[in-house]
Structure 1
Amino acid sequence: MATSPQQRTGDPQGSGHMVVCGDDGLALRLAAELREVYRQRVVLVAPSGGRGEETERAALLSQAARILRRSGATVPGDTPPPPHDVPSSSPSEATLLRAGVDRAAALALLYEDDEVNLRAALAARRLSPGLRLVVRMYNRKLGQHLEELLDQAALLTAPGTDRAVLEASTTVLSDADTAAPALAATAVAGSSKVVQADGVLLRAAERTPPGRGEVPDPGLCTLALLSSTTTDPAGVEGSEASGALGPLLLPDDRAVAGSTGRGSVVLETVRYAGPSLSPRRLARRGAPLRELFSRRLRGALAGIVASVLILTLTTTLLTDADPVHAAYVTLLDLFSINDPAIDAPVTHQVLQLLTGLVGLALLPLLVAGALEALGTFRAAGALRRPPRGLSGHVVLLGLGKIGTRVLTRLRDLDIPVVCVEEDPDARGIPLARSLGIPVVLGDVTEDGVLEAAKIHRAHALLALTSSDTTNLEGTLSARTVKPDLRVALRLYDDDFATAVHRTLRTAHPDALTRSRSVSHLAAPAFAGAMMGRQVLGAIPVERKVLLFAALLVAGHPQFEGRTVADAFRPGAWRVLALDTASPGARRPDLASSHQEGDEPQLLWDLHPGYVLRSQDRVVIAATRRGLAELRGRHAAGAR
């Protein structure tokens, strides 16, 4: 569709920019993430308001930028202009044209109404078939259908465009799916700075300088050497003044070996290191056959069977009957359906009386077995209580949309969980019942509920209910029971989350506390999707950023035909993993969550001598400058 010059004047950003449309805090947070972390020019489409609302929106954007700067995700003097604001209450076709969607690199639709996002996505695909779309959808099934529909529409409306690009042009995400990995990692490792690749959670862990005679843990690889001033109380983080050494990204082995007195950042997988549970306790989906009857009942039944066998053998020996006939007669006498042995020999009469006595004992045994089996089946279908002696587990408050996703991730990591939920009809109750996860039904603010969840022996607390006050009250109650408990609580407002974090950190300096809003946790995943499905995420290292991406070796002379060791360029990029799946069976988006039954396809322990082939797909860690070079874009200010 052609556009008039008047339609084009609304966007001063030029082409290749990012357009973010939304009506809540996630849009502001995403705009700041794209600008501060990925150095992208952003156009923000948000509902218009009075001067007070515009001032508040500018303040929220400034606050999100400050949070990212404090996390070490910015480089001074390298930040694009502030987001260009296009006030609009709805993402109509005219609004999208004013935002320059027809010339944009990517568009994010983040409205809370699925129908609004759906209409805008269809209009945007019609305006720009090759546009990279990131859509927020609460209905997961509808989102899957929408992703297939928009990709198919892109192929039909732009037949001359690269098919591989168009097939990866639409990504549908939800807040719950994107925030769950960070929350699960917080419970395990105390860090929400994670990258998800092929269902594996990766985090950048800081290591202090090793002492004399100590062997440092290299993890999967060394991502960076920290500034030489980070261990100096008088130094300034990242400072390079007075001969101080700044952070060194992606160092080689020689630089790591010569880094005396400098801390390092290593890449490691997020794994649970607490007490392990037996597979039966981790995956209890029903009542095993041996649990249908108690030990006493099984013993009594074995006694009845032994008595019948003895009577059958005795009948065979004393009456000269064959074993089959003797067994038949014994069973008839056992169930009292045989004729009385009046004219039979005394031996036969005695055997008949003994068999009848055994039959009398069998009747109450059958009734007891039926009742016990019924009770066992009912107990298997009911919610489990926390087992005795449970320790090192995670207490999860709330089984709503977010809590259910986090429960699934914790279960994938084989972490013992005890859930606390007030509503017996909550969304996650059926999942907890099917997985055999212990659940305490009750209000967390009432006395005895957290105690029933064994909070005094727990490893961490995740407060994920939909109420900020409930999450805060549950956290404070848990801290009174166990002051050093690791806590992560979900709060909607970033300002409130920051204030709570500072207060709890001051009151409990020896305990780890994390307070995050869903938009804070979800924005990095949406930003990575806007950069393309090949970008898996970003991790800040002091005042620089490392990007993680999945790339095809074909078309990259830096990789093709080279060994893994030769393809490593210090300070620019490093190959971390190899996709072992065949090209036709590869998942298009490695950053998405695993579907049930999917097998991991990334090989992380890659031999340095492996020769990269053109059909291979690899996961790399790269600086912004290095990734721009690999993607054919040389940004002047890339780091």
Structure 2
Amino acid sequence: MTELAVPPVTGPVAPDTVAGHVIVCGLRGIGLRIVEQLHRSGERVVVLAEYADRTQLEVVAAWGVGIVVSQGNSAATLTAAGISAARAVVCVVESEIANLEISLVARELRDDVRVVAQLSNQAIGRAVAGGNGPGAVLDVADLAVPGIVEACLRRRIHAMEIGDETFLLARLPVDRPSTLRGLFGPLAPIAVLRPAAGHLAATVVDCPGRDFPVRPGDVAAMLGTAEDFAHQNVDLEHDAVDAVRVRPGRLRRGLTAIVGVLRDFDRGLYKAVAVLAGLVVLSSLVLSVGYASPKMSWLDAWYFSTETVATVGYGDFSFVDQAPWLRIWAIFLMCAGITCTAVLMAFLTDMLVSRRLGDSIGRRRARNLSGHVVVVGLGTFGIRVAAALVASGRAVVVVERDSGNRFLADARELGVPVIFGDSTLRSTLDAARVAESSAVAVMTSNDMVNIETAIAVRDMFSAQWAGTGAVPVVTRVFDRSLGRTVARRFGFENVQSTEELTAPYFVGAALGLEVLGSFPVAQQTFMVSRLTVEPGSSLAGLAMNELSANTRVIALTRADTCRMEHPPRRGTRFKAGDLAYLVGPYEELLGVLHRARLADDPLAVDRPAVPDVTG
């Protein structure tokens, strides 16, 4: 085996020393976050070195994670990684071809192992999912887009299916000092967001008790059915501040269109028009004074001058019988008229061609929009966000730097205008009418471009940025610690880490925890999941109030009656075969899952704490 200068490097993993481990292929982006969370929850992890760089390997090596180098092909490498005794294989390589190959080979080597693969190509994903067996085929964009769209639309209600019931998570503002029980009765409190002054980060209290004191300015995330909210007289008809700006009237839109067309012309056109108009006026003056037999009126002189400049003649006037100097003037007038007319037509043609090109890039189509959503970046995320917003009935304008982007055809099919340009420049943002928009989603694949664009947008809204009517700027940031720093420093409330939103799905699928959904509260991600209480599990016989303080059981389907209890009483005890529906920070839920396996899995040992290197 080739030696790797990063310890620890393993040889082939022996099943009798490591079993029930998770093999992770790919550490870039979400992969490192997955490994971190698996290890923090006490799972044994082995990574494949060929899909990681040295820095990433050094990080996971410090945690004691096993590293296996390439054995020449995927089958040999997976065999060396101990797939025969592995709990799951997670494929999150940047190359979809590599993910497809690894998942197929893993399934070929062992048909009962959990295979969790990231595949953004929906056709390939559906084909692989059809015979994937245990595990899941997941798409990061599909998982993260709903949260991004909710933030763009400023929706305060998140619906989720739990068992046979539809539960609603509502972010409700607190208007008076009280307790959660006093304000919202038996609704289940999931989190309380307590804003902080200045550049300090807002405080998020996870799963507080119903007697937790709250004060005006706090926002409580409460969970229940629509009927539960109705009993508490909580109005959910109007989804918070989902503001849509009033469409301007016809007169204003007409004036805007006229001004826009005038701005489209080259300044040289106005000079040509001015010269031509001056020539006609001067000629009218000369003819009204010097033309004889018959004498011309001012209107006749104006008519004849225009007729001469346009090089058309109707036989009603002629220079044949006029003085020589006037005939010389006629020669000059015709030559100058032809020249000015040709220049004028050249500018008109240029404007019409430019206008057609402008229509193709969306600038004209975006000119009259108001209350639309601007999506910056037409990548895998950007096109999905745009499609979801269009499906929700919103007008969308996309800003993209690359005129050869592969998703342009999809944007045209959606009927979405695309503005080509640098999103960090004010001129590009003005072309997309950001100042008239209701939200901005910055979705490029570069963290620094996203941050710079968000700051440029913030500058456009500086007057109302601190107010309640501030336009939401949803910014995609891969690095979670960088995202939190930017949010604190610049006051952004919607910095979304895609790895933070989607890692729970991969980790849960790998460990057998069925993730039903996730949602952010400030910078904290909560997960909704379903867990089966296995016979012999340490959860069997455990009371609800003996779980983690930051985990809430919102519903319980009894094995003996098949009926769902919600909300279960705090003293209710789990029984083998029960289906428990849990909500909480996903680190806490993974801890519950690990605890549930301790009793019947002798290899499920506790791990030392792992520093949160991703922020």
- TM-score (structure 2 length as normaliser): 0.55
For residue 460 of structure 2, the aligned residue among 454, 459, 481 is 481
Opposite residue 23 of structure 2, the aligned amino acid is: V
The answer to whether the 8 Å contact 1:420/1:442 transfers is: yes
Q: What's the CA shift for 1:390?
A: 1.3
Provide the C-alpha distance between the structure 2 equivalents of 1:426 and 1:629, rounded to a whole number of angstroms.
Answer: 48
SS of the residue aligned with 2:24? strand
**Is residue 559–residue 579 contact of structure 2 (8 Å, CA) maintained in 1?**
no
Q: Equivalent of 2:485, from 502, 509, 532?
A: 502
Alpha-carbon deviations, 1:581-603, whole Å to 9, x = none? xxxxxxxxxxxxxxxxxxxxxxx
1:132 to partner: Cα distance: 1.0
Matches within 5 A, 1:614-625: 621=583, 624=589
Tell me, in whole angstroms, the C-alpha distance in 1 between the residues paired with 2:73 and 2:91: 9
Specify the alignment match of 2:50 in structure 1: 47
Residue equivalent to 1:293: none
SS at match of 1:548: strand
> Residue 131 of structure 1: which of 113, 127, 142 is its match?
113
Sort the Cα spacing of 1:237 and 1:570 in 2 relative to 1 into closer, same or farther, 3 A. Answer: farther
3-state SS of paired residue (1:134) = strand
Alpha carbons 2:38, 2:45 under 8 Å: kept: yes
Residue 449 (str. 1) matches residue 428 (str. 2): yes
Q: C-alpha displacement at 1:514, in angstroms?
A: 1.5
Cα 1:194/1:102, change in 2 over 3 Å = farther
Match of 2:99 among 93, 117, 137: 117
Partner residue, 2:274: none
TM-score, structure 1 as length reference: 0.53
Partner of 1:465: 444
Distance 1:7 1:138, change over 3 A: same
DSSP-derived class of the 1:479 partner:
helix
Structure 2: gaps spanning 5 or more residues: 1-10, 225-235, 248-356, 466-470, 536-555, 607-615
Partners in 2 of 1:402 and 1:97 — Cα distance?
35
Alignment of 1:85-484 (within 5 A): 85-88=67-70, 92-148=74-130, 150-151=131-132, 166=133, 169-189=134-154, 205=171, 210-211=176-177, 218=184, 221-224=187-190, 256=210, 258-261=211-214, 265-267=221-223, 273-276=241-244, 383=362, 385-386=365-366, 388=368, 390-391=370-371, 393-483=372-462, 484=465
- The Cα of 1:104 is off from its aligned counterpart by 1.8
Per the alignment, do residues 637 and 48 of structure 1 end up closer, same or farther by CA in structure 2, a change over 3 Å counting?
A: closer
Q: Deviations over 1:466-507 (max 9, x none)?
A: 444543442232222113253333345x2xx7447535642x
AA in 1 matched with 2:91: L
Distance 1:116-1:538 versus aligned 2 partners, 3 A rule: same
Contact 2:155 2:241 in 1 (8 A): no
In the TM superposition, residue 31 of structure 1 has moved relative to its aligned partner by 0.7
- Structure 1 pair 565/202, CA: closer, same or farther in 2 (3 Å)? closer
Secondary structure, aligned partner of 1:179: helix
Contact 1:133 1:530 in 2 (8 A): yes
1:123 and 1:213, CA in 2 relative to 1: closer, same or farther beyond 3 A?
closer
Structure 1 residues 428 and 117: CA distance shift in structure 2, 3 A: closer
1:403–1:464 contact (8 Å) kept in structure 2 = yes
Report the Cα offset of residue 435 of structure 1: 3.5
Residue equivalent to 1:582: none
Q: Is the partner of 1:266 in helix, strand or coil?
A: strand
Shift of 1:120: 2.2
Query: Structure 2 CA distance, aligned partners of 1:425 and 1:179?
Result: 25
- Per-residue CA distance 1:193-245 (angstroms, 9 max, x = gap): 989769x99768586695259997759942447699x99xxxx989xxxxxxx
CA offsets per residue over residues 4-58 of structure 1, 9 Å max, x none?
xx9542784432x22211152332121112233x543322223389xxx645533
Partner secondary structure for residue 535 of structure 1: strand
Instruction: Note the C-alpha offset of 1:134.
Output: 0.8
Structure label with greater radius of gyration: 2
Distance in 1 of aligned mates of 2:182 and 2:408:
44
Residue type of the partner of 1:46? Answer: A
Judged with a 3 Å threshold, the aligned counterparts in structure 2 of structure 1 residues 57 and 425 are, in CA distance, closer, same or farther, namely same
Q: Does residue 33 of structure 1 match 2:45?
A: no
SS in 2 for 1:440: strand
Determine the C-alpha separation between the residues in 2 that align with 1:141 and 1:204: 35
What amino acid is the match of 1:529?
Answer: A
**Aligned residue type for 1:487:** V
CA contact (8 A) 1:223 1:267 kept: yes
Q: Which amino acid aligns with 2:514?
A: Q
Separation in structure 1 between the aligned mates of residue 521 and residue 140 of structure 2, nearest angstrom? 25
Q: Choose the corresponding residue for 1:531, options 495, 501, 511.
A: 511
Structure-2 separation of matches of 1:127 and 1:558: 37
After superposition, give the CA deviation of every residue in 1:230-281 in whole Å (9 maximum; x if it has no partner). Answer: 99xxxx989xxxxxxx9656x6xxxx2x4445985424899674235999xx
Rate the CA distance shift 1:558–1:402 in 2: closer, same or farther, 3 A.
same
Pairwise CA RMSD: 5.4
Distance 1:186 1:419, change over 3 A: same
Residues 7, 58 of structure 1: CA spacing in aligned structure 2 closer, same or farther, 3 A cutoff? closer
Letter of the 2:68 partner, please give it: V
- C-alpha spacing 1:237/1:434, structure 2 compared with 1 (3 Å): closer
Give the Cα–Cα distance (whole angstroms) in 1 for the partners of residues 168 and 571 of structure 2: 20
Q: Determine the C-alpha separation between the residues in 1 that align with 2:89 and 2:22.
A: 6
**C-alpha separation between the residues in 1 aligned to 2:437 and 2:69?**
48
Conservation of the 8 A alpha-carbon contact between 2:24 and 2:46: yes
What's the counterpart of residue 333 of structure 1? Answer: none
Which one of the candidate residues 15, 22, 29 is aligned to 1:18?
Answer: 22
In the superposition, relative to structure 1, how do residues 82 and 126 fare at CA in structure 2: closer, same or farther (>3 Å)?
same
Distance 1:541 1:466 in 2: 23
Please give the alpha-carbon distance, in whole angstroms, between the structure 1 residues aligned to 2:189 and 2:504.
Answer: 20
Superposed CA deviations along residues 275-324 of structure 1, whole A, max 9, x for unmatched, are 35999xxxxxxxxxxxxxxxxxxxxxxxxxxxxxxxxxxxxxxxxxxxxx
Question: Which ranges of structure 1 fall in alignment gaps of 5 or more residues?
Answer: 1-5, 63-80, 152-165, 239-245, 280-377, 575-613
Q: Deviations 1:440-491 (Å, cap 9, x if unpaired)? A: 3433244422113222233332222344454344223222211325333334
8 Å CA contact retained: 2:493, 2:522: no
The range that moved more, 119-128 or 210-219, is 210-219
Identity percentage of aligned residues? 25
CA contact (8 A) 2:518 2:526 kept: yes
- What is the deviation of 1:566? 6.7
Corresponding residue SS for 1:448: helix
1:44 is matched by which residue type in structure 2?
Answer: V
Give the total of aligned pairs: 429
- Give the Cα separation in 2 of the matches to 1:39 and 1:189: 37
Which whole-Å CA distance do the structure 2 matches of 1:28 and 1:201 have between them?
A: 32
